[in-house]
């Protein structure tokens, strides 16, 4: 097995991944008031935090006729005081500052829909918002921060739902958030499935699988996220969920990928572009070939790839090297060679896997047979 001298890694005292994954370790719903929900989202919004104040200024410019709560006319439903509404953060997507700013700057009174709520004996005197959190937070900004109104004296329209079965509401929340509202991103759906299992005790097989994938992330100091949350550059961040959310890959592939990532860089950086699909596809081939993919094997794969960047693996640099190798081969092996690259195409997955398997094989690691190699990779082109 290749023994590679790696550079000392910067110690991580408090893992960001542990902090952000902590949100999922709740055995019951957690309620926060609207102001807290807004301030927490701003705190983690990075550069987007300042856009809320900018959007508030734009609102004032676009809506000069609104000088107090008397000027705002919302649809009629049941009425509640804004201060009575709390948000179940386990039954909502993460509050997106980007979307909040968008609806605030494009505010139209006729677009404001009633807030979907239910009553919970655990929160007496309160209405629990299960859909419409971006609307209610936007209204909070308008009334409290722009108009200076007391939210305990502001009426907002609500629709009260009789069911207190959060698992049922959670499924409705996913279905209702279609084209008429901000669509749920894959990350929002992934989060909801985790909450559904850990908070509601859901037995939905698809949701249980998602929660098992979350366990694999947590065990290796990783976390799933999206650039809209502003933490995509944090250590352990996985922002491309294409493979994670693809159930064609067995759970064992996700577990192997997460262990590889921990081994290759101690989860001290975000997952790099192309890295996810390269290693997901590689480990999937390994399982299909009957290779024993245990911790020792995963470690040997990580060590074989660390040569690409002085003790780490830069998938983008690696792919560029693969592309150059293929170009050199194509110049001499295309039909009727003419010394140009005319006619060349770059099938990304085949190109990457052809080079990746040869690189791992060079380190003496057992590799699966790849039936679609794009070219014969010369050893001198490898790292």
Q: Note the residue count of the chain.
A: 383
- Asked whether residue 175 is assigned to any structural domain, the reply reads no
pLDDT of residue 3: 44
The answer to whether position 113 is within a domain reads yes
Positions of the chain with pLDDT under 50: 1-10, 12, 180
User: pLDDT (tens digit, 9 = 90+) per residue, 148-169?
Assistant: 999 999 999 998 887 666 777 7
82 and 149 both lie in a single domain: yes
CA-angle at 192, arms to 190 and 194, nearest 5°:
75
Domain-embedded: residue 13:
no
User: Which of 175-185 are b and which e, b meaning 16 or more Cβ less than 10 Å from the residue's Cβ?
Assistant: eebeeeebebb
Q: Do both 130 and 224 map to the same domain?
A: no
**Sole residue written with tokens 């990350």:** 187
Whether residue 94 is found in the same domain as residue 216? no
CA distances from residue 293 to 75, 262, 286, 301, 355 in whole angstroms, order as listed: 59, 15, 7, 10, 20
Q: What is the pLDDT of residue 7?
A: 41
**Predicted model pTM:** 0.70
371 and 253 both lie in a single domain: yes
pLDDT at 2: 38
Contact (Cβ atoms closer than 8 angstroms) between residue 86 and residue 126: yes
What are the start-end ranges of the H helices in 185-312? Answer: 186-198, 205-219, 251-265, 275-288, 295-305
Q: Are residues 226 and 144 in the same domain?
A: no
Torsion (CA) 178, 180, 181, 186 in degrees, nearest 10 = 20
**Three-state secondary structure call for residue 260:** helix
If DSSP states are collapsed to H, E and C, what string results for 356-374?
HHHHHHHCCCCCCCCCCCC
**Predicted local confidence at residue 221, as pLDDT:** 97
Task: Say whether both 215 and 342 belong to one domain.
Answer: yes
The Cα–Cα gap between 147 and 68 comes to 6
* Domain endpoint, select from 110, 141, 164: 164
- Total domains, the chain: 2
Q: Is residue 182 one of the residues assigned to a domain?
A: no
pLDDT score, position 1 = 37
Same domain, 36 and 133: yes
**CA dihedral sign, ordered 261, 265, 266, 269:** negative
Cα torsion at 182, 186, 189, 194 (round to 10°)?
Answer: -150
Q: Are residues 232 and 115 in the same domain?
A: no
Cα–Cα distance measured from residue 284 to residue 328, given in angstroms and rounded to the nearest whole number: 29
- Tell me, what's the pLDDT at 8? 46
Q: How far is CA 193 from CA 215, 223, 224, 277, 302, in A?
A: 13, 15, 13, 23, 30
Structure tokens belonging to residue 63: 């809506």
The parent domain of residue 159 ranges over: 28-164
Transcribe 309-345 into DSSP letters.
GTSS--HHHHHHHHHHHHHHHHHHHSSS--SS-TT--
- C-alpha separations of 95 from 99, 101, 105, 155, 267 in Å: 8, 11, 17, 22, 26
Q: What is the pLDDT of residue 215?
A: 98
Query: Do 211 and 193 form a contact (C-beta atoms < 8 A)?
Result: yes
The answer on 214 and 153 residing in a single domain is no
Long-range contacts of 43-52 (CB under 8 A, 24+ apart): 44/229, 44/230, 44/231, 45/97, 45/229, 45/230, 46/230, 46/231, 47/230, 48/97, 48/98, 48/101, 48/230, 49/97, 51/97, 51/98, 51/101, 52/97, 52/100, 52/101, 52/104, 52/141
At 166 the pLDDT is 73
CA angle 40, 44, 45 (to 5 degrees): 110
Residue 117 β-bridge partners: 129, 160
150: in domain? yes
Query: Of 139, 164, 189, which closes a domain?
Result: 164
Q: Which of 104, 139, 164 corresponds to the end of one domain?
A: 164
Residue 230 and residue 99 share a domain: no
* 301 and 367 both lie in a single domain: yes
Task: Supply the pLDDT for residue 309.
Answer: 87
Q: What is the pLDDT of residue 279?
A: 98
Tell me, yes or no, whether 187 lies in a domain. Answer: no
Q: Is 155 part of any domain?
A: yes
Assigned domain for 275 exists: yes
Residues 221 and 327 placed together within one structural domain of the fold: yes
């Amino acid at each position: 097995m290749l023994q590679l001298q790696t550079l000392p890694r910067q110690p991580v005292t408090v893992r960001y991944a542990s902090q952000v994954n902590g949100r999922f370790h709740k055995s019951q719903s957690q309620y926060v008031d609207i102001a807290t929900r807004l301030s927490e989202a701003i705190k983690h919004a990075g550069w987007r935090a300042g856009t809320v104040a900018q959007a508030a200024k734009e609102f004032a410019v676009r809506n000069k006729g609104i000088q107090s709560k008397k000027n705002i006319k919302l649809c009629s439903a049941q009425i509640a005081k804004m201060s009575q509404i709390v948000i179940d953060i386990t039954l909502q997507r993460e509050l997106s500052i980007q979307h909040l700013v968008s609806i605030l700057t494009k505010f139209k009174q006729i677009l404001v829909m009633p807030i979907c709520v239910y009553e919970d004996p655990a929160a007496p005197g309160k209405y629990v918002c299960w859909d419409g959190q971006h609307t209610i937070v936007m209204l909070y900004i308008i009334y409290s921060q722009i108009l200076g109104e007391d939210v305990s004296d502001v009426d907002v329209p609500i629709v009260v739902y009789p069911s207190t079965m959060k698992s049922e509401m959670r499924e409705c929340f996913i279905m209702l958030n279609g084209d008429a509202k901000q669509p749920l991103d894959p990350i929002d759906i992934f989060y909801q499935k985790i909450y559904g299992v850990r908070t509601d005790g859901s037995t939905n097989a698809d949701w249980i699988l998602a929660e098992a994938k979350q366990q694999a992330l947590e065990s290796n100091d990783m976390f799933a996220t999206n650039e809209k949350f502003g933490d995509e550059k944090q250590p352990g961040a996985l922002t491309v969920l294409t493979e994670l959310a693809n159930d064609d890959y067995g759970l064992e592939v996700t577990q192997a990928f997460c262990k590889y990532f921990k081994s290759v860089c101690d989860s001290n950086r975000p997952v790099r572009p192309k890295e996810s699909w390269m290693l997901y596809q590689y480990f999937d081939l390994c399982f299909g070939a009957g290779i024993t993919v245990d911790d020792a094997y995963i470690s040997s794969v990580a060590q074989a790839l660390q040569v690409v960047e002085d003790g780490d693996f830069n998938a983008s640099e690696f792919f560029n090297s693969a592309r150059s190798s293929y170009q050199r081969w194509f110049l001499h092996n295309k039909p009727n060679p003419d010394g140009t690259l005319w006619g060349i195409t770059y099938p990304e997955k085949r190109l990457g896997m052809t080079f990746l398997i040869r690189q791992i094989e060079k380190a003496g690691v057992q590799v699966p047979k790849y039936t679609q190699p794009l070219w014969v990779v010369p050893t001198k082109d490898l790292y």
